[in-house]
Amino acid sequence: MAQAEMTFPADFLWGTATASYQVEGNNKNSDWWVWEQDPGNIANNHKSELACNWWQNAEADLDLAAEMGTNAHRMSLEWSRIEPEPSVFSNDALDRYRQILQAMIDRNIEPMVTLHHFSNPLWLVEKGDFDSDIVVEYFQRYTDRVVSTLGNLVAKWITINEPMVYFYSRYMEKVFPQPNNSGMRAGIHSLRQMLRCHAAAYHTIKDKYPDAPVGVAKNFPIIEPRLDGNRLDHWWASRISRMFNDFWLDALQDGRIRWPFGRGKIKNLAGSFDFVGINYYTRFYVKFPPGKDVIDKQWGPDALVSDGNYGEVYPYGLYRAIKHVLRYKKPIFITENGLPDARDKQRPAFIMDHLRQIWQAISFCYPVMGYYHWSLVDNFEWDRGWTQRFGLIALDPDTQERTWRTSGRLYSEICSSYKVSSDMAQRYAPQMMPVMFPGDPVSVAESQDL
Ligand code: FCB
C-alpha cells in the first residue's frame, strides 16, 4: 500500500544532545560534584560517578550516534575541567575535547558546542559566582581560550544553556547547587551578569570566526492559566510567560533589560545571536496569586504525563513555541526535546508527533533547520539523578551496558530517510495513525472500527 510521508529538507540536521556534566563522569572540580555529596540534594541520593563515561570513551556513544544515522550532535564543555584553577588552563582537557570533536567530525556528525550548561568551577563559586563582578572577564577569557584551541572544529555555538531555568532552579526552587548568596537580589544580578557573559562570549567567537553561528538554547515551556482560570490567572500567565520566555531573547534582540529584572541597556548585547535554539519539553499552568511554586504541575484529567510527573506531553506546544520566536527573524533549531520514559512506552509517538509539528512549521516556510533529541543515551539528570531516563539508548550506569530502545530504532529510520512515514507510524505507534495520517486507508479503517 502506498505510504504517506512527511518529508524534511535535504539539509535538515538530525541530532541528539548531551551536556558535559551529565555524561562525562568524575567532574570533581564542579559545584555539582560537591552538591551531590550532601544527602537530600539528589533524588535517591544518586551520584553521577562515571556518568556515561564520556571522558574516557565518548567515542563508543558517538559510534552509536553514527549508527543511528544522525548528522549532528549538541555537546557542552566543562569549564571546571578546562580552567581547574582561576587563569590556569588545562591543555590535557582541551586536547581531550579536541579528540571528542574530531571523533564527531570523523563520523560525519556536526558539532554544536555549548560553553556553559548548568555547571560551575568551584573556584568561581568561591569568587561569587555569576553574581560577582569578575565573572564576565573570566567567562570571556575561558571562551577565548576555547575558541582559539577548538574553534576550527566547531560548527555552531551556544553560549549559556537555559539561563532562565538556571536562575529559577537556583534562586527560586533551590534544587541546583547554591551560590554563596542565594537571595533574590543576587539572583537578578546574576541574570544580568549572564547577559553580559553572553555578549562577551558572542563577540569573542565572532572576532575569530565571523561566520560561525552563535545562538542560545532557550527553554520554552508553554505557560497557561490554570484550567478554568479567571481573568487574573490569564493576566498572570501572560506575565510569567513574558518573564520566563521572552525576557532573555528580547534582551538579546535590543540590548535592553526589562522589568522585573532591572532597567537599562547592556553594552554590546543588542543583536548578539544568529539563531534561536528552542529547548521544548512541556506546558505549565499558573494561578494567581501563585502558591509556593510559581509554576504549577497541574494538568487536565486526559493529559498524557511522562515518567515521575515530569510533565504533560503536549506536542502542539512545540509548534506554538516555533511560531512565537518567528518574531526574531532568525533561523531556528530545536536544541532539545525529549521525555523521561524508561520503558519507552510513549517515546516513539512523542518523537513522531513532535516532528510532525516541525514538519508543519517547515511547510509554512518557518526556518526550522534542525532537531536535537534529548538525549542520545540515559544520563545523570541533575537533581533527579538517574530516576529519569531520557535516552534513545538505555544505560545501566553500574555496568555501563547500553541497550537500544525501540524509539532509537525509529529515530534511526527517520534520520536515515529524512522522513516520517505512515509505515513507521503503523510499526512503531499505530495509535498515532488517525492523528498523523488521518486520510490514510489504515486510519480510516481503524477509526471505523472505533
Ligand atoms: C533541560 C536541560 C538538560 C536536561 C533536560 C532534561 O532543561 O537543559 O540538561 O536535563 O532538561
What integer pLDDT is reported at residue 448 of this predicted model? 56
Reported as a single tens digit per residue, the pLDDT across 426-436 is 999 999 999 99
Helices 406-417 and 54-68 pack at an angle, to 10 degrees, of: 60
What integer pLDDT is reported at residue 297 of this predicted model? 75
Tell how far the Cα of 421 is from the centroid of ligand 1, in angstroms.
29
CA 46, CA 384: separation in Å to the nearest integer?
8
Q: Please compute the mean of the pLDDT values over residues 1-18 and round it to a whole number.
A: 93
Please determine, for residue 449, whether its predicted confidence score (pLDDT) is greater than 70: no
CA 395, CA 52: separation in Å to the nearest integer?
8
How much is the mean pLDDT over the chain?
A: 96
For 115, the grid coordinates are: 560553553
Q: Which residues span the domain enclosing 355?
A: 5-449
What integer pLDDT is reported at residue 147 of this predicted model? 98
Reported as a single tens digit per residue, the pLDDT across 243-262 is 999 999 999 999 999 989 99
Ligand 1 nearest-atom number relative to CA 22 = 9
Q: Which residue's CA lies nearest to atom 9 of ligand 1? A: 19
Amino acid at 378: D
Burial of 450 (0-12, 13-18, 19+ CB in 10 A): exposed
Any ligand 1 atom below 6 A from CB of 164: no
443 pLDDT tier (thresholds 50, 70, 90): low
What integer pLDDT is reported at residue 447 of this predicted model? 55
Tell how far the Cα of 434 is from the centroid of ligand 1, in angstroms.
31
Closest CA to 4 of 411, 381, 352, 395: 352
**Is 15 in contact with 371 (CB distance < 8 Å)?**
yes
In which region does residue 59 sit, left (phi positive, over 0), alpha (psi from -120 to 50) or beta (all else)? alpha
Any ligand 1 atom below 6 A from CB of 19: yes
Top-confidence residue, 5 or 3: 5
For 12, the grid coordinates are: 535538515
Report the share of the chain in percent with pLDDT over 90: 93
Tell how far the Cα of 447 is from the centroid of ligand 1, in angstroms.
37
CA 367, CA 361: separation in Å to the nearest integer?
8
Specify the pTM.
0.97
What backbone phi and psi angles, to 5 degrees, belong to 427?
-80, -35
What integer pLDDT is reported at residue 309 of this predicted model? 87
Any ligand 1 atom below 6 A from CB of 383: no
Reported as a single tens digit per residue, the pLDDT across 347-376 is 999 999 999 999 999 999 999 999 999 999
Tell how far the Cα of 303 is from the centroid of ligand 1, in angstroms.
22
Which CATH number do you get for residue 65? 3.20.20.80
Closest CA to 33 of 162, 135, 166, 125: 125
Q: How many domains does the chain have?
A: 1
Please determine, for residue 159, whether its predicted confidence score (pLDDT) is greater than 80: yes
What integer pLDDT is reported at residue 450 of this predicted model? 46
Please determine, for residue 239, whether its predicted confidence score (pLDDT) is greater than 80: yes
Strands of 192-274, DSSP E: 214-219, 222-225, 256-257, 264-265
Ligand 1 nearest-atom number relative to CA 165 = 7
Reported as a single tens digit per residue, the pLDDT across 177-199 is 999 999 999 999 999 999 999 99
Closest CA to 340 of 319, 315, 312, 372: 312
Q: Which residue's CA lies nearest to atom 4 of ligand 1? A: 381
CA 316, CA 323: separation in Å to the nearest integer?
11
In which region does residue 329 sit, left (phi positive, over 0), alpha (psi from -120 to 50) or beta (all else)? left
Reported as a single tens digit per residue, the pLDDT across 258-309 is 989 999 999 999 999 999 999 999 999 999 999 887 777 788 888 999 998 8
What backbone phi and psi angles, to 5 degrees, belong to 403?
-135, 130
What integer pLDDT is reported at residue 294 of this predicted model? 79
What integer pLDDT is reported at residue 1 of this predicted model? 55
What integer pLDDT is reported at residue 267 of this predicted model? 97
Tell how far the Cα of 445 is from the centroid of ligand 1, in angstroms.
40
Any ligand 1 atom below 6 A from CB of 17: no
What integer pLDDT is reported at residue 187 of this predicted model? 98
Supply the DSSP string of 146-204, one letter for each residue. HHHHHGGG-SEEEEEE-HHHHHIIIIIS--SPPPS--SHHHHHHHHHHHHHHHHHHHHH
Please determine, for residue 395, whether its predicted confidence score (pLDDT) is greater than 70: yes
Tell how far the Cα of 174 is from the centroid of ligand 1, in angstroms.
16
